[in-house]
Amino acid sequence: RRVVVTGMGAVTPIGIGVDTFWENVKKKTLGFGEITRFDTTDYKVHIAAEVKDFAGKDYMDFKAAKRMELFCQYAVAAAKEAFEQAGLDMEKEDPFRVGVIVGSGVGSLQAAEAGVEKILTKGPSRVDPLIVPKMITNMAAGISKVELNHKEVQETADRVAKSFKELVTKVVVNM
């Protein structure tokens, strides 16, 4: 059995899109800067590697983007780039022969934090019923599966120890 990687996508702190990302890797660009997503006044650390200049609505339907957490928007944007790079037209492909692998260190800590805040301030009955799907890491691959209409392997590399090789092996076994 053979697996062919036909397309790649990237949404990273040093560039959105594989070409931009790779050019910045070659230039040894660092993606670290001042944290902009929350107030860091009371924190010792004020820098992070945030993705810059990303708008989910540029890569998917505005309503769909509004319903999903930012890390899932990143995954969908990268998966769409990979599908375009591969020249995949899901109207012509067997959806059971197409899959996606997403690398994400963690799901939505923002969703988890908002849930805890809701519990503390308004009680458990006010917590978003979709909090678990919003915060689990494998939703990134799951949402791309829905958005791009592929039916085969979806996998999220959610640990540093989980290698690309291990994921590709899983794809081969499942095909």
Q: In this predicted structure, what is the pLDDT of residue 47?
A: 96
Nearest to 52 by CA among 107, 105, 13, 90: 13
Q: In this predicted structure, what is the pLDDT of residue 152?
A: 62
| pLDDT tens-digit series, residues 50-84 | 999 999 999 998 988 888 899 889 989 998 998 89
Q: Angle at the Cα of 12 (from 58 to 77), degrees rounded to 5?
A: 30
% of the chain residues with pLDDT over 90: 38
Q: The pTM is what?
A: 0.80
In whole angstroms, give the CA distance from residue 123 to residue 86: 48
| DSSP label at residue 93 | S
- Identify the sign of the CA torsion 37, 41, 43, 46: positive
